[in-house]
Structure 1
């Protein structure tokens, strides 16, 4: 429906920023007109009752126009190229790696010199962990930002980031960085002004004169870090007020019920877009909207806010995708892709944290039934959106899948989770894992798991015991875990160090800024002498790197692995094996993964159930051809191994 006043506001912004009749200006105008009424509707859903709603909406439109005006021609050209591909990020040709710049190679300028390493591996997408300024000693790994526009000195400068982005663009690589949306550092400019008593900036946060509202909020808000940061509010003596601090006392939660906060943060997002980010990772989106009497997580208006953000981003930088870092229950995660009229129009990506945890479940138990019980929820992901798939990331491993999924596998949920925690912390007889429990809740005994991929798969213990057979088994587990996450659908994201089998790094214990947080054990400092062992035939580094390299290469060659909502789970007739089909037109890839330390026998009926039964299958991983046998004849899969079978 035509809205005269909205159209006039858009025209006013175009005139103010001298946006004319050039081709890219006309494209921007078309997108703004097409999205304008939706932007206005979503904005009013959030802010219509706010006394400054009209003024801030006008400023929002101006913010979009200003960001377009300064967007570089090269980035506008990239937007067009991505638009011509459709959903460019669904491609099977993209493989990512997540890393801390300082831990990996020291600085952004050094990272530019490492691009040949990624090219050798096959990685063409980098997620750089938080880069922007955060105070030493209370940075939360960079997630307590004190300046959203200044690169932390230890990484380099903004010019270094721009130079890296240009190098990556020339090399055909993609770049993602973090946007810490929920909170700021208490040393950030707005927080400092609020602390000094400025009422305008105090409204940017949840600040109260006494404990009345904090007590009401805390009746229903769970503790995020019960061990190290209990409670959700912190007293600020400088202004004699209480401020909401959901994560740590030095991270002040932003009050998005104030439209000025949304416009300020949108301006920062578009600043990142104009640096050339291909994907922006929105940290902790589940927490961005707060209401008393709720858990203040996953609230409906959090989704409204994300949808508004997506519409605005599409207007200025349509080539930039958004990743919502919502680590929530399987049913809850689907809402972050959007629902109803906004299906696949909220976040383009979400982490498949459920599948990641289910793979660790299967590895510990040798039983895939819990994994299979969860898939009906995960398959609800809409076409046009995608997963980030991974076996390990900078964070802990949570066991957040639902109890009924565990019960369907005939396990007791409490005992099952206790077994997994004990197994991966090395407290179960026969466990090969060397991990640790993170954020143990003394009341509920809930906890998450820390440790590198290699250490949790047994490599650390095997090397310590100088046990060659155990080393071989651990390496097989590592590659099995990576293969399953690579081929299940989505954009696979390696965590740095995993490509060469880094075990736990305990150097964090001697650093007072880190020693309280055992997640730093799986955030290693890279020793490039160790990484150079990828050239040493037979070394664990060479074996893991080569296998990872082969998986990436295979995935790029097999177009049916693109995330086209083309995943079908198979009946493997063996509880130790997970099996699924990836199909694109007449191309079919049957994938089977044996999570047991025993030979698995998979009835050939498993590949005959879905459509036209294949006669010949070629196993791309094991490089052998199979004639599909009769029922009650078997595909044989070695312990902790897998088959990637293309129908011929």
Structure 2
């Protein structure tokens, strides 16, 4: 481990029984940064100074603290070794861990132990998630509790609740402009409602994920309000400047995130006559993590969420949390150091909570969020497989798999012990974020290829069935992302409007194809609410001044439960989609081979229209075969032998049919948009 100047070097204690006895003694030994130290002495000083106490019942916590202290110290001083208050604030950080542990309920500690026995519990094939807005799905938290049977009926056992903490009406960015990290917004209920929902979910064997916005606060947050009033202590919580000299240096390299709705990266604050960094919207003030006080406060919020009983904490936009002039201020090395430090602290105080880094970045960058070097698989437990999500839409629009396959070498670098969130879409836009060389490898021109995809999904290409919209179009680059529901982008909206029964059948087949691909590819699948019953675009957002500037509200529907009840009516769109999703989820949960154990191998592209992969685990194998073309396609039987397998027959879990494997010169035939979920039989 590289030595950091002024970093303490611990003579770590091994026997936790002895450690407990020493910690409970009255005698204090002064702590000096200049020499080697006993970890026991250091912690004992912190406990005494903060009126904290540990006992023999805390052996497991002390062991975790002992095991993690070297990494926590190294990472902290790697960032803050030059800060004048570094030592004092480091001691406060350790006290924060002790307090968080002591505030953790017994049932959550027991849940931590149960997860530890399972190992990497979050890699299981039995997990199937759904992301939803509480108010738009159910109304509020108490009403959401009454909808849990609906989710159980579908097979969902993991819920991502979109932001529910207090944010100003009309300036919320969908809840990502938080004005109070510890107060549930009144439209959802109160904190006790959230805890009650979590307990009900746990009794049903379900898991919960919540967001934390590390990058910024609302300008209505207490810290921002005090900064506006002129308090220098809180002004240092943000990037605030008296003039444009330093902001201009930042903006030389920083791209604009929302060039249409929020141009630039700084906003002038009249109350204090200063410029503040606002990378996303002018009402979202970026936090200054160069200040260790900010890290300490936000870590305390992370651990507060852990003690609410959150199973996975989704860290929103982590790529932006460290800024430096002369850079894009995205994906900088310090971002990873901070995330690794958070992970180490969570492992000590609340080891059952996993971390998801919502880094929607280039493939070569997203892999780094799992950790590298000594911290491989020790940073974020999850990341969104945004690259493959976008590649699915590429395959659906072009009917070809070559660009998707060109990107897989980067995606497959994910280390064992970590997992992807696999999805067809989410609350956000769809950006074609894979790199140009991946397109060029297939002989295509990146600009023209992306232009085709934008025209296809925005409905601007003659003959396209998709009905979406361009989001955040940048006239300087010609780049844009896509808004629209899964159903509308797959053609269901158009076919329903035109009363085209054949088009409706095809669009439903596309929807199920896309969902099946995400469910069986690898990682934890995250469905998006409304997709399970075929919601099409909601255009009413344009009449709401708080939403009209953001066409992503196209795909954030308000659930009509009468429409949802049509899932029980044979032959309805809702019934056809919901029942097929039920079947897919049931198949997934019955196949341990689908767990994310770094066990995916892509089959050679014998047919550019067919995406095929092999999953293997503990002597079992599984083939996923997906035709993204609107025409009949075939796949040579050799494809099922090229990786060393020699199956005599294949059982298709989807059609429930046994298929005999033929000689190499014969083929498996697939109908347009057909897929097979194949298990080898001897």
TM bucket normalised to smaller? over 0.9
Name the CA distance, whole Å, in 2 between partners of 1:199 and 1:147.
21
Q: Secondary structure at the match of 1:261?
A: helix
SS in structure 2 at match of 1:167: helix
Which residue in the other structure is 1:627 paired with?
660
CA distance in 2, matches of 1:17, 1:466: 71
Structure 2 residue 531 is matched with structure 1 residue 498: yes
Runs of 4+ more than 2 Å apart? 5-9, 11-23
Match of 1:411 in 2: 444
1:210 — aligned with what?
A: 243
Q: 1:562 aligns with which of 571, 574, 595?
A: 595
1:12: Cα distance to partner? 3.1
Once residues 199 and 306 of structure 1 are traced to their aligned partners in structure 2, the CA distance between those partners, rounded to angstroms, is 27
Aligned-residue offset at 1:7: 3.5
The answer on 1:20 being equivalent to 2:51 is no
Residue 279 (structure 1) aligned to one of 312, 317, 320 = 312
Report the Cα distance in structure 2 between the residues aligned to 1:8 and 1:69, rounded to whole angstroms: 20
How far did residue 8 of structure 1 move?
2.3
**Partner residue of 1:125?**
158
Alignment pair present for 1:62 and 2:95: yes
Cross-structure match for 2:187? 154
Deviations 1:286-322 (A, max 9, x none): 0000001100000000000000000000001101000
The residue number in structure 1 matching 2:6 is: none
Task: Give CA-to-partner distance per residue, 1:523-552, whole Å, 9 cap, x none.
Answer: 000000000001000111001001111111
Q: Say if 1:576 and 1:596, in contact at 8 Å, map to a contact too.
A: yes
Query: 1:420 aligns to what?
Result: 453
Give the C-alpha shift of residue 9 in structure 1. Answer: 2.7
Which residue matches 2:82? 49
Residues 67-98 of structure 1 show CA distances to partners (whole Å, capped at 9, x for unaligned) of: 11110000000000000000000000000000
Secondary structure in 1 matching 2:474: coil
- Equivalent-residue separation in structure 1 for 2:435 and 2:442 (angstroms): 12
> Match of 2:392?
359
Residues in 1 aligned to 2:249 and 2:445: alpha-carbon distance in whole angstroms: 35
- Partners in 2 of 1:57 and 1:6 — Cα distance? 14
Distance 1:137 1:12 in 2: 48
Question: Counterparts of 1:575 and 1:612 in 2: how far apart (Å)?
Answer: 22
Match in the other structure for 1:639: 672
Which whole-Å deviations, capped at 9, do the CAs of 1:308-343 have from their partners, x for residues lacking one? 000000001101000000000011100000000000
Structure 1 residue 17: Cα displacement? 5.3
Deviation at 1:19, TM superposition (A): 3.8
* Aligned length in residues: 647
Matching residue within 350, 362, 366 for 1:317: 350
Contact 1:17 1:66 in 2 (8 A): no
Q: Is 1:136 the equivalent of 2:162?
A: no
- 1:260 is matched with which residue? 293
In 1, Cα distance between the equivalents of 2:315 and 2:42? 29
Whole-Å separation in 2 of the counterparts to 1:448 and 1:22: 56
Judge conservation of contact 1:181–1:265 (CA < 8 Å) in 2: yes
Q: Does 2:571 match 1:529? A: no
Q: Is the 8 A contact 1:577 1:593 kept in 2?
A: yes
Provide the rounded CA distance (Å) in 2 between the counterparts of 1:89 and 1:17: 37
| Alignment-derived partner of residue 384 in structure 1 | 417
- CA distance in 2 between counterparts of 1:572 and 1:209 reads 58
Gaps of 5+ in 2: 1-9, 12-35
Alpha-carbon separation, structure 1, partners of 2:653 and 2:332: 45
- 1:381-409 CA-to-partner distances (Å, cap 9, x unmatched) read 00000000000100000011011111122
Task: Determine which of 449, 469, 479 is the counterpart of 2:482.
Answer: 449
- Superposed CA offset, 1:391-435 (max 9, x none): 010000001101111112221111000000000000001100000
TM-score normalised by structure 1 residue count: 0.99
Per the alignment, residue 68 of structure 2 pairs with 35
Mapped to 2, the partners of 1:487 and 1:7 lie a distance apart of: 48
RMSD: 0.9
| 2:198 equivalent in structure 1 | 165
Residue 228 in structure 1 maps to residue 264 in structure 2: no
- Check if 1:84 corresponds to 2:127: no
SS at match of 2:408: helix
Q: Hey, what's the Cα distance between the residues in 2 that align with 1:13 and 1:384?
A: 34
Counterpart in the other structure of 2:219: 186
Displacement, 1:14?
Answer: 4.3
**Superposition pairs for residues 539-558 of structure 1, below 5 Å?**
539-558=572-591
**Partners of 1:576 and 1:299 in 2: how far apart?**
38
What do the CA deviations read for 1:214-270 (whole angstroms, capped 9, x no partner)? 000001100000001010000011111100000000000000010000000000010
Q: CA offsets per residue over residues 610-644 of structure 1, 9 Å max, x none?
A: 11311111010111111110011011111111001
Match of 2:27 in 1: none
> What is aligned with 1:596?
629
The answer to whether the 8 A contact 1:9-1:61 is kept is: no
Residue 509 of structure 2 is aligned to residue 476 of structure 1:
yes
Note the C-alpha offset of 1:18: 4.2
Q: Report Cα offsets for 1:470-528 as digits up to 9, x if no partner.
A: 00000000000000011110000000000000000111111100010000010000000
Deviation at 1:29, TM superposition (A): 0.6
- Tell me by how many angstroms 1:4 deviates: 1.6
2:368 is matched with which residue: 335, 350, 368? 335
Asked if the contact 1:179/1:280 (under 8 Å) is kept, the reply is yes
CA–CA separation in structure 1 for the residues paired with 2:229 and 2:54:
43
Counterpart in 1 of 2:326?
Answer: 293
Distance 2:679 2:406 in 1: 26
SS in 1 for 2:444: coil
Cα distance between partner residues in 1 of 2:45 and 2:357: 33
Q: CA deviation at 1:6?
A: 4.3
TM-score by length of 2: 0.94
2:647 match: 614
Q: Is the 8 A contact 1:13 1:65 kept in 2?
A: no
**Separation in 2, partners of 1:251, 1:91:** 37
